[in-house]
């Protein structure tokens, strides 16, 4: 068996040891004679898996008692509707920071429920190609938000498509805001230490840093559980989900089980502190290569470059197809950039080892020498 280095933006590579363990347990989980997929979600065996998974996640992210951790469905895009349904009671508007495709999608969807006030917007990186994509200056953010009865302020901590990542700029302002902070952390959750106490809601789909698609993790401050609109579907109401231990209806049991194995793996590596250090190391390998080359170019301002998703273009775009096919011959796959950005994108989440990133860097150097 030979496995590739998979740079997919998501669903993304999982730790090989996790896949091996899941394979070994597939038919007979710990001598019980059945697969986790076949277990009742209310059985003692599954409840044990579930509770350990939730406890490990809380430990990894250092979630304080003031916050609930929910395992939901609908993905991060579903959350674009689920969050307003849960937080808008008594409010008419919310504030949005748009830094790219995902945050824009969130503010757009919000308009179905209330007035979306975009308080900062640097999402149209293509229109500002010289400066590249970047995190906007957040210095006056609180002035633009406070005193206006905003239900919350939303931002996307890592723009998976544009490759733009915050580095605590908004988190550091949280205490100066008069509304809760809501963050989409789909593509960088568990890669950086956060101060969870500063957030009203943190949410993300699992299929990048956590596990398979199908489960959405929501961390919500308990006092916000009382702000749901009456029309919020019960299955998506944070309070109902919390009161029922994420089992108001059947949760995505197998995805949660795999996420649990990923959490065990991450704890054994050294937790989020390890992931943070590794992420920087891996990102530096690629950005250093790109910055020392006149053939590769990264369209994101240096200080704001994502440690998870590394977009880059080739000086000659007609070589894109050749780059991708030669990379694939070397077992380096899923490198094609998102159609809205073009070029390439290497997604290097927690499960991508440094070795995989080094293999990509070696190939990129060789390719440049060959064609330049």
Q: Summarize the annotated binding site for L-glutamate as residue ranges.
A: 42
In the chain, the N- to C-terminal Cα span, in Å, equals 35
Question: Does the active-site annotation cover 274?
Answer: no
State in angstroms the smallest separation of the CB of 42 from ligand PMP.
Answer: 26
Of 160 and 191, which has the nearer Cβ to ligand PMP? 160
What gap in Å lies between CA 106 and CA 77, rounded to an integer? 7
Of 53 and 207, which has the nearer Cβ to ligand PMP? 207
Residues 6+ apart with CB under 8 A from 24: none
Which segments are annotated as binding site?
42, 102, 160, 184, 207, 249-250
What gap in Å lies between CA 190 and CA 187, rounded to an integer? 9
Active-site residue, selected from the candidate residues 184, 239, 282, 336: 184
- To the nearest 10 degrees (0 to 180), the angle between helices 253-269 and 271-291 is 80
**Interface ranges with ligand PMP (CB under 6 A):** 10, 75-77, 102, 156, 160, 184, 186-187, 205
> How many residues would you count in the chain?
372
State in angstroms the smallest separation of the CB of 160 from ligand PMP.
Answer: 3
Active-site residue, selected from the candidate residues 29, 102, 157, 336: 102
What gap in Å lies between CA 296 and CA 148, rounded to an integer? 45
State in angstroms the smallest separation of the CB of 305 from ligand PMP.
Answer: 15
What gap in Å lies between CA 207 and CA 194, rounded to an integer? 20
Question: Does the active-site annotation cover 157?
Answer: no
Report which of 86, 67, 74 is spatially closest to residue 199, judged by C-alpha positions: 67
For the chain, how big is the Rg over CA atoms in Å? Answer: 21
State in angstroms the smallest separation of the CB of 269 from ligand PMP.
Answer: 23
Of 86 and 296, which has the nearer Cβ to ligand PMP? 86
Which residue is at the shortest CB distance from ligand PMP?
75
Of 295 and 309, which has the nearer Cβ to ligand PMP? 309
- β-sheet bridge partners, residue 336: 344
Active-site residue, selected from the candidate residues 29, 56, 157, 208: 208
Which segments are annotated as binding site for pyridoxal 5'-phosphate?
102, 160, 184, 207, 249-250
**Are the beta carbons of 144 and 98 closer than 8 angstroms?**
no
Question: Does the active-site annotation cover 102?
Answer: yes
For the sheet with 201-205, list strands across it: 67-72, 216-221, 201-205, 181-184, 150-156, 93-98, 115-121
Of 82 and 225, which has the nearer Cβ to ligand PMP? 82
State in angstroms the smallest separation of the CB of 33 from ligand PMP.
Answer: 33
Catalytic residue numbers, as ranges? 102, 184, 208
């Amino acid at each position: 068996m030979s496995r590739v280095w998979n740079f997919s933006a998501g669903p993304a590579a999982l730790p090989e040891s996790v896949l091996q363990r899941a394979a070994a347990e597939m038919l007979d989980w710990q001598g019980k004679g059945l697969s986790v997929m076949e277990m009742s979600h209310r059985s003692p065996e599954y409840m044990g898996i579930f509770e350990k998974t939730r406890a490990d996640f809380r430990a990894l992210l250092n979630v304080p008692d003031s916050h609930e951790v929910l395992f939901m469905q609908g993905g991060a895009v579903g959350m674009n509707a689920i969050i307003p349904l849960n937080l808008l009671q008594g409010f008419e508007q919310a504030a949005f920071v748009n830094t790219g495709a995902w945050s824009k999608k969130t503010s757009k969807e919000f308009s179905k429920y209330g007035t979306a006030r975009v308080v900062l917007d640097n999402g149209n990186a293509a229109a500002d190609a010289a400066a590249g994509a970047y995190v906007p200056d957040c210095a006056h953010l609180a002035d633009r938000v406070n005193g206006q009865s905003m239900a919350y302020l939303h931002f996307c901590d890592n723009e998976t498509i544009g490759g733009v990542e915050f580095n605590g700029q908004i988190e550091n302002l949280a205490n100066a805001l008069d509304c809760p902070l809501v963050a989409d952390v789909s593509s960088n959750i568990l890669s950086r230490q956060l101060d969870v106490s500063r957030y009203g809601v943190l949410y993300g789909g699992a299929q990048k840093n956590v596990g398979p698609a199908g489960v959405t993790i929501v961390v919500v401050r308990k006092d916000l559980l009382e702000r749901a609109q009456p029309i919020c579907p019960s299955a998506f109401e944070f309070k109902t989900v919390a009161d029922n231990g994420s089992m108001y209806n059947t949760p995505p049991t197998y995805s949660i089980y795999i996420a649990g194995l990923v959490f065990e793996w991450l704890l054994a590596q050294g937790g989020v502190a390890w992931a943070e250090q590794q992420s920087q190391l891996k990102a530096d390998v690629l950005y250093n290569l790109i910055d020392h080359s006149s053939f590769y170019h990264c369209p994101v301002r240096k200080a704001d470059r994502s440690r998870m998703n590394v977009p880059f273009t080739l000086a000659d775009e007609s070589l894109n197809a050749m780059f991708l096919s030669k990379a694939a011959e070397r077992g380096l796959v899923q490198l094609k950039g998102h159609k809205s950005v073009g070029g390439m994108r290497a997604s290097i989440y927690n499960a991508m080892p440094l070795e995989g990133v080094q293999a990509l860097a070696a190939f990129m150097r060789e390719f440049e020498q060959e064609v330049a």
